[in-house]
Amino acid sequence: MTRTLRILYIGLFLSLLLGLGGWSLGSFRSFSTAADTSVLNGKWSKAAETHYDEKFPIKRLGTNLWAALDYQLFNEGRPGVVLGREQWLFSDEEFKPVANSAQHLQENWQLIQGVRNHLARQGVQLVLAIIPAKARLYPEFIAGSPPVALQQQLYQQFHQGAADAGIFAPDLLAALTEEKQREAVFLRTDTHWTPHGAEVVAQNLSLAIQQHMPISGEPQRFTTENQPSEAYNGDLTRFLPLDPLFSNLLPAPDQLQQRSTAAQQTTPAAGDGELFSDSQVPVALVGTSYSANPRWNFLGALRQALGSDVLNYAEDGHGPLLPMLKYLQSAGLKDSPPQLVIWEFPERYLPMSSDLSEFDQQWLSQLKTSSDTGESLASANPKPHTPIQATP
């Protein structure tokens, strides 16, 4: 290599380093920390390192490029998503086998029956709302291998188990399957249902409750308004890290039309007190993000369909078991037990393990044992837990 070529090579290399360095430093324009973040204890430097790692251009370039190759050549995304036909995305939890599924199934069933028995001793009836998997409702959009045998049989087994245990669990699959012919009941790029799908479930739950365990008290009226439709990138697109360099490859966003439900204003009679007091609320809702996320308006749809106020104890990101166990220890159940509890429970969680380490293990063991023996849990000493607040 001649001296001129060496100088040119060194110059190009230094230019590349300076260019990448300047590009990387540009990411700090969006860096900020809390006012009390100290430089002395290393928190500031840790925050800067984390921000730089997330915004590092070369890392983003490599991530985007690798994701684009997987997506284009192999029709695959990151672990967590299964790509279907016509830009449909599915959670891989609805397809793959579950380790130690038999053990988890047995333990979760014991907890479910223990929950029913615990509520029954409080004079509260349980309604188990088993939510069918998206892959079960839209099998025509599955592009590759179907769900494993366990997942294929799960919904029917779940319902049969509920029937054998005497737990009231209305069938929601038939209504959703019929309604999907008219309007989408699940989002194409998201794990969750559409507001319309949530409304279908709420109406069918209401009909079943009216037939089997009617709610006492004066009916209340609610009205629902549709919001303008907006483009919405579902949670499953996070497993396709194509943005920003290859964002044109991403599935088209869903069109999400959110809804809002409010009580019709009425003037209470003298001495009636507030329109909704804790003692007057006959229904509690416990569940997952299907119930907790206001985007789907499941709470509002339930209120309107039941003609009753509903207190929401659902939580986002914790599955169905943990919020229910927290509710069993809450002041809401102890001080103002409702007539019935609706437990929204997506079918795919039945064979999955849950982190219940925050609860007293003796209390959990007695809760499981009560599913077989029906013994009282009065002697249990549950681990103190901060009462959760219901969503108004």
The set of catalytic residues is 190, 192, 289
Q: Is the dihedral of CA 150, 155, 157, 161 positive or negative?
A: positive
Phi, psi dihedral angles at 101 (to 5 degrees): -65, -35
Helix, strand, coil percentages in the chain from 3-state DSSP, rounded to 5: 50, 10, 40
Q: How far apart are CA 168 and CA 313, in angstroms?
A: 20
- Kind plus residue range of the DSSP H or E element containing 259: strand 259-263
Distance CA 122, CA 109 (A): 20
- Six-digit token string for 390: 């219901």
**Are the C-beta atoms of residues 205 and 302 closer than 8 Å to each other?**
yes
Chain position carrying tokens 């009282």: 376
Q: Which DSSP state fits 276?
A: S
- Tokens at residue 40, please? 């002395």
**Cα end-to-end span (Å), the chain:** 75
What's the chain's Rg over C-alpha atoms?
A: 26
Please tell me the distance from the alpha carbon of residue 194 to that of residue 182, in angstroms, as a whole number.
Answer: 13
For residue 37, which amino acid is it? T
